Amino acid sequence: MASKRIGKSAINWTALSERVPEHQRAQYLAFKSKSDGYLRRVLANPEQAPPIDWAFYKQKVPVAGMVDDFQKQYSALSIPYPADTVSSQIDAQEREIKSDIQKFKTESDARIAEYKKQLAHIAGLIPYDQMTMEDYRDAYPEDALDPINRPTFWPHTPEEQIDYVHKDAQESSH
């Protein structure tokens, strides 16, 4: 027999409702109404089955020993409650997911810190409309024109350079 009686729903419906996307609201409400209906039906029944009045049946049943036999079989009847074999697996999976979430948070915090550094660097730059070519070279040395160390041909686009390989040619060679 079950070890405890369900007293109320174990689901935090308010917290769950906040996470449901708007396009799935109808399915969520249908699921919640089914769950509430099931809980109402369970709570409508008594916690224990009503006791059987064996003396009443002994008086009414004419076959001798039949009620005693039924009573003996009924008291010997034991309906086993299934053993919980998956809770440990679920708990292990939950711990694994929590560690993955913590790892993601840590990685995200590191990315956020790096992005904040980049934003601070960009905020500290001279506005583009006030930059000279030298200011641009100092701020973005990898993108600036460098005619001495990296000469390029006009119009200075990657497609016009001697060592340029077209993307389609690059993909077909692999």
Q: Which residues contact 74 (CB under 8 A, 6 or more apart)?
A: 52
Which residues have C-beta within 8 Å of that of residue 143, sequence separation ≥ 6? 136
Structure-block tokens of residue 137:
């070279």
Residue 30 dihedral angles phi and psi, to the nearest 5°: -65, -45
CA-based end-to-end distance of the chain: 66
- What global pTM score does this model have? 0.44
Tokens for 26, please give them: 């109808």
> What DSSP character marks residue 146?
B
Rg (CA), the chain: 38
| Backbone phi, psi, residue 150, to 5° | -135, 75
What is the pLDDT tens value at each position of the chain, 174 positions in all? 445 666 666 788 899 999 999 999 999 999 999 999 988 898 888 888 889 999 999 998 888 889 999 999 999 988 888 888 898 999 999 999 999 999 999 999 999 999 999 999 889 989 989 999 889 888 888 888 788 888 887 887 888 888 888 877 766 666
CA distance linking residue 53 with residue 76, whole number of Å: 17
